[in-house]
Amino acid sequence: MVGQMKTTLNLDDAVMRRLREEAARRGTTMTALVEAGIMRVLEPAPPYATERDALPELPRWNSGGALVDVANRDELYAAMDESES
């Protein structure tokens, strides 16, 4: 059996108004929303990245290598002009 304790919280008027509106919108009680919020804060933080959550490796392919040194503006422009003809 789970016990319940009655307590008093001092909430900002704007927070109380939003809490009341959200409870009505969800069709639940303000108590249920407050309890859910408190439980969320008290839950342990999930670990950052696990083996299971690791991102898949990016695909690789052979692009054939660079045709020109992209730092050399003249070679780059010449290669672009050749590809247009």
Express each pLDDT in 39-78 by its tens digit.
999 988 777 666 666 778 888 888 777 778 888 999 888 8
Please state the pTM of the whole predicted model: 0.51
Angstrom distance (rounded) from CA 14 to CA 17 = 5
pLDDT over 90 for what percent of the chain? 42
34 band by pLDDT with thresholds 50, 70 and 90: very high
> What is residue 70's DSSP assignment?
T
